Chains A and B, each alone.
Chain A
Amino acid sequence: QVQLVESGGGVIQPGRSLRLSCAASGFTFSSYAMHWVRQAPGKGLEWVAVISYDGNYRNYADSVKGRFIISKDSPKNTLNLQMNSLRDDDTALYYCARVPRGALHGPFDHWGQGTLVTVSS
């Protein structure tokens, strides 16, 4: 069955960098576009970034554009999110999510359980 397992979260100081990973299994990872979505404590869902199945298209929320980089390592079945210049308001639970095969935009049909990033001095 489809599994998405995020890792890499933790407590990090403002201005520092962190790299999140999402290990995918149970499907042909190279054929699917993937997204990152975050949820600040007690708040709603915020879309963060998307990458196409082949990695040739990437897009970001305005709140992270220029600071975050999404990437896809298909041989390793891993989705990554490089987060630079972290700010307090980046504190959130970060989910990776898959869209159906052949789609780019949605819906998000499978989600991981999330990895918590806390930005604090």
Chain B
Amino acid sequence: DIQMTQSPSTLSASVGDRVTITCRASQSISNWLAWYQQKPGKAPKVLIYKASNLESGVPSRFSGSGSGTEFTLTISSLQPDDFATYYCQQYNNYSPMYTFGQGTKLEIK
């Protein structure tokens, strides 16, 4: 099965900072990667799909890049609403186990 590894596990940052979260797949998943944001007590919300496509309604300060095994989620200028936990997920149809990364908690510095 494909394993997804996110780094860092925790990230402390300030409003206005540019932050990047990395997700690595144990084997190539092409661009079959999504990023989700989850706030406490809430369901996850998709931000990015197919590695770099912004979901409708998601602010343009969020962007995704990468292909193969290495992917990044970038928030260009952190807003107070962005402090949450972020998960990557592979949905490669050759390995239909839809693995999530372990999550990155973005905290206020």
Distance in angstroms from A56 CB to nearest chain B CB is 14
Say whether A35 faces chain B, with CB atoms less than 8 Å apart. yes
Give the A-B pair count, Cβ closer than 8 A: 63
Distance in angstroms from A6 CB to nearest chain B CB is 10
Q: Which of B49, B92, B97, B102 contacts A107 (CB 8 A)?
A: B49
Question: How does the 8 Å CB contact mask read for A22-64 relative to B, with 1 for contact and 0 for none?
Answer: 0000000000000100000000111100100000000101100
Q: Which residue of A lies closest to B35 (CB)?
A: A107
The segment from A12-20, A76-84, A109-117 found at the interface with B is A109-117
Q: Which of B1, B45, B46, B87 contacts A45 (CB 8 A)?
A: B87
Distance in angstroms from B9 CB to nearest chain A CB is 10
Per the bound structure, the CA–CA distance linking A48 and B45 in Å amounts to 18
Centre residue among B36, B46, B87 by max chain A CB count within 10 A: B46
Contact residues of B: prevailing secondary structure:
loop
Say whether B55 faces chain A, with CB atoms less than 8 Å apart. yes
Contact A107 B43 (CB under 8 A): no
Query: Which residues of A (63-102) have their CB < 8 Å from a CB of B?
Result: 95
Distance in angstroms from B54 CB to nearest chain A CB is 12
Contact B43 A113 (CB under 8 A): yes
Contact A106 B32 (CB under 8 A): yes
Distance in angstroms from A7 CB to nearest chain B CB is 15
Chain B residues lying within 8 Å of A111, measured Cβ to Cβ, are 43-45
